[in-house]
Amino acid sequence: MTSMTPASSTPSAKPRRPRPQVMRLTDAAAQRIQELTRRADSEIVGLRVGVKNGGCAGQSYTVEYAHEIRPTDEVVEDKGVKILVDPKAVLFLLGTEMDYKTDKMQAQFIFNNPNQVSACGCGESVQLKPAEV
Report d(CA 83, CA 57) in Å as an integer. 25
Report d(CA 75, CA 44) in Å as an integer. 14
* 7 found inside a domain: no
Residues 6+ apart with CB under 8 A from 11: none
- By residue count, the chain amounts to 133
Q: Note down the domain range covering 98.
A: 22-128
Residue 116, phi then psi, degrees to nearest 5: -80, 125
Residue 63: CATH number of its domain:
2.60.300.12
Beta-sheet pairing, 81-85 with 46-53: parallel
* 123 found inside a domain: yes
Structure confidence by residue, pLDDT tens digits, 42-90: 899 999 999 999 888 888 999 999 999 999 999 999 999 999 999 999 9
| Number of domains within the chain | 1
* 8 found inside a domain: no
* 66 found inside a domain: yes
Residue 11 confidence (pLDDT) above 60 = no
Residue 7 confidence (pLDDT) above 60 = no
* 49 found inside a domain: yes
* 5 found inside a domain: no
Q: Write the DSSP symbol of residue 72.
A: T
* 74 found inside a domain: yes
Q: Supply the pLDDT for residue 123.
A: 66
Residue 17 confidence (pLDDT) above 90 = no
CB-based burial of residue 38 (10 Å sphere; 0-12 exposed, 13-18 middle, 19+ buried)?
A: exposed
Residue 116 confidence (pLDDT) above 90 = no
Name the more confident of 44 and 126: 44
Residues 6+ apart with CB under 8 A from 58: 125, 126, 127
Name the more confident of 13 and 112: 112
* 133 found inside a domain: no
Q: What pTM, to 2 d.p., does this model score? A: 0.78
Name the more confident of 3 and 56: 56
